[in-house]
Amino acid sequence: MEFVLPDFRLATPEIFIACAALFVLMVTSFKKQGARTAAFWLCEITLLGAFVLILGSGDVQRSLTFGGMYIADLFGSFLKLVVCLAVAIVLQYGRAYMAARKIDTPEYYLMVLFATLGMFVLISASHFVSIYMGLELMSLSLYGLVASDRDNPRSTEAGMKYFVLGALASGLLLYGMSMLYGATGSLELHEIAQRIYDRSANDVVVAFGLVFVMVGVAFKLGVVPFHMWVPDVYHGAPTAVTLLVSSAPKIAAFAMAFRILVLGLFDLAEQWQQMLMLLAVASIVLGNLAAVAQTNIKRMLAYSGISHMGFMLLGLLAGVVKGEGGTYAINAYSSAMFYTVAYVLMTLASFGMVILLSRAGFEAENVDDFKGLNQRSPWFAGMMLIVMFSMAGIPFFVGFFAKLSVLQAVVAAGNVSGLSIYYWLAGVAVVMSAIGAFYYLRVVKVMYFDDALDNSPIEASIGTRSVLSANALLLAVIGLLPNSLMQICAFTLLH
């Protein structure tokens, strides 16, 4: 077999981040004074550099390299741009928060960079080995970050729970990969898809492998019944880390689910569609009902995130009707992609507001901590109102159009297939969204109609205030002009 030299140019962003992480490690090791400030700015510069490199790649043609383990395409490039933006915002929001608690060590910034590198690898992985490498690089970094507040028992407990459950999910995912390898003789997604299409694979072993792979994907998305870690990790981790765990990794998990299910196991759509239906309905129902009972806003947003991932799965499962793809499939998949990007923007702003109201010795974790926010700062009360309205799916914010696009895809699947199950799915989603609006509007109610428990001024840097305001306003702008983002999602999937 002839050796082919990999095209390193296609993986320039990953190589750049890996080298930058090593550079940050060297600088912070020798520079004791100002190491934290240096690490922060070097991380932001690294993310900016990666962003520019991805943009500079231009209209990249879909191509494989590194022995079929890495795929370069517009789909991956766009998601990496969103990851860069999300992680840069996370660092900006969390800088003062972590510094006030003296946990903004250089290691924190290093683990953020390595987690970002893992996300990049996962987004462009087209081989089960590279998928697992990216997944574990991202996950191991997140385990460390969740437990980074070593003096806080809640943080270390959350880190341990996340690690144990994550290790279990990784083991099940590996077992599923090994079964698919045994059935098809390949670990490359395109070859697996070809063997399944040719009916040359053992159907029983493939079905078992699919089940175990689905468990791993479901865990990383945090959907029911593999959601046990989500509320505890969101609640226990430092809020700046919760902000990271709840945002950018969802982009990588969506890319993993799309590449495995749609590109690798497309001809098994009949089987994984049924699994996704159960996962989606259970997540939407349990997520919304459990969130209603929460008084801690981090746990509320955790259960809310579970329901949002259920909505995203509705878009994925609506992409194939009786094995037929085409333009209709692209519309469904682009709606799922649009929903994921919209959710990341919304969760960045929501946890950003929690961080904004927190200070040294005080965590703004409860809904009651938002009481009378309009009296303290009408501007940021307005920003939080935009975020909550968007998450609730109230017109005309991005959350409304994200839910609408997914529901349209599900109804269209029902029209094409003639199966009533799709209409039932859409009906359940609409009803649970109406129930879910309660806990979002409750936050708005306490901000505007309750007296403030704390009248101290909100302390935050101009940079944080500006980025948070821009983040919240972007939800309104995209809500008014949703077609632009939707067209980008559809274009990147087609090319």
pLDDT at 325: 46
Question: 426 in a domain, yes or no?
Answer: yes
What residues form DSSP beta bridges with 188? 127
- Other CB atoms within a 10 A radius of the CB of residue 475 amount to 22
The per-residue pLDDT string of the chain (495 residues; one tens digit each, 9 = 90 and over) reads: 455 677 778 888 899 999 999 998 888 888 777 788 888 889 999 999 999 998 887 666 777 787 778 888 888 889 999 999 999 999 998 888 888 888 878 888 999 999 999 999 999 888 899 999 999 999 999 998 998 888 888 888 888 888 988 888 889 999 999 998 888 888 888 888 888 888 777 778 888 888 899 888 898 888 888 888 888 899 888 888 999 998 889 999 999 999 998 888 888 888 888 888 999 999 999 999 998 888 888 899 999 999 999 999 998 888 777 644 445 566 888 889 999 999 999 999 999 888 888 876 677 788 888 888 888 888 888 888 999 999 988 888 898 999 998 998 888 888 877 778 888 988 999 999 898 888 899 888 888 887 777 777 777 778 888 888 999 999 989 888 888 888 888 888 877
Q: Is residue 126 part of a domain?
A: no
Domain that holds residue 441: 267-495
What DSSP string runs through 140-201? Answer: HHHHHHHT--TT-HHHHHHHHHHHHHHHHHHHHHHHHHHHHHHHHS--BHHHHHHHHHTT-S
Dist. CA 205–CA 10, nearest whole Å: 35
Question: How many degrees, rounded to 5, is the angle at CA 483 between CA 478 and CA 487?
Answer: 120
Helix (H) / strand (E) element for 106: namely helix 106-123
Q: How far apart are CA 22 and CA 37, in angstroms?
A: 17
Report phi then psi at 72, rounded to 5: -105, 120
Structure tokens that stand for 104 in this block: 């903004």
Half-sphere exposure of 236 (CA within 13 A, CB side): 24
What is the token pair recorded at 271? 């089987």
Quick one: residue 322, left, alpha or beta (phi over 0 = left, psi -120 to 50 = alpha)? left
Euclidean distance between the first and final Cα of the chain, in Å? 31
User: Residue 377 domain-assigned?
Assistant: yes
For 460, other C-beta atoms within 10 Å of its C-beta total 20
Q: Are 71 and 60 contacting, i.e. CB atoms less than 8 angstroms apart?
A: no
Evaluate the omega torsion of the peptide bond into residue 396 and state whether it is cis, within 30 degrees of 0.
yes
CA distance 494 to 487: 10
Please report whether residue 198 resides in a domain.
no
d(CA 375, CA 31): 44
CA distance 424 to 414: 9
Give pLDDT, residue 58: 63
**Helical packing angle, 35-56 and 106-123, nearest 10°:** 20
Residue at 349 is within a domain: yes
The residues, ordered by sequence, that sit 6+ positions from 63 with a Cβ below 8 Å of its Cβ are: 7, 10, 71, 72, 73
- Tell me which residue of 353, 359, 362 sits closest to 382, measured CA to CA: 353
DSSP classification of residue 64: E
Q: Using alpha carbons, select from 94, 89, 57, 90 the residue that is nearest to residue 76.
A: 57
In a domain, 292, yes or no: yes
Report the alpha-carbon distance of residue 463 to residue 441 in Å, rounded.
28
Give the pLDDT of residue 87. 93
Q: What is the pLDDT of residue 360?
A: 66
Residues 6+ apart with CB under 8 A from 437: 392, 393, 394
Kindly state whether residue 325 falls inside one of the protein's structural domains.
yes
pLDDT of amino acid 323: 45
CB atoms within 10 A of CB 439: 24
Q: How far is CA 39 from CA 44, 58, 101, 109, 119, in A?
A: 9, 30, 17, 6, 20
pLDDT of 83: 93
Helix (H) or strand (E) holding 458: none
Instruction: Locate 411 and state its tokens.
Output: 């109804």
DSSP 368: G
Q: What is the sign, positive or negative, of the torsion defined by CA atoms of 186, 191, 197, 198?
A: negative
Residue 445 amino acid letter = K
Q: Which amino acid would we find at residue 372?
A: G
Looking at the DSSP assignment, which residues form a beta bridge with residue 72?
63
Quick one: which of 259, 276, 21 has its CA closest to 122? 259
d(CA 291, CA 304) in angstroms, rounded, equals 6
- Whether 86 is covered by a domain: the verdict is no
* Cis peptide upstream of residue 225 (ω within 30 degrees of 0): yes
Number of domains in the chain: 1
pLDDT of the residue at 283: 92
**What number of CA atoms fall less than 13 Å from residue 390's CA on the CB side?**
31
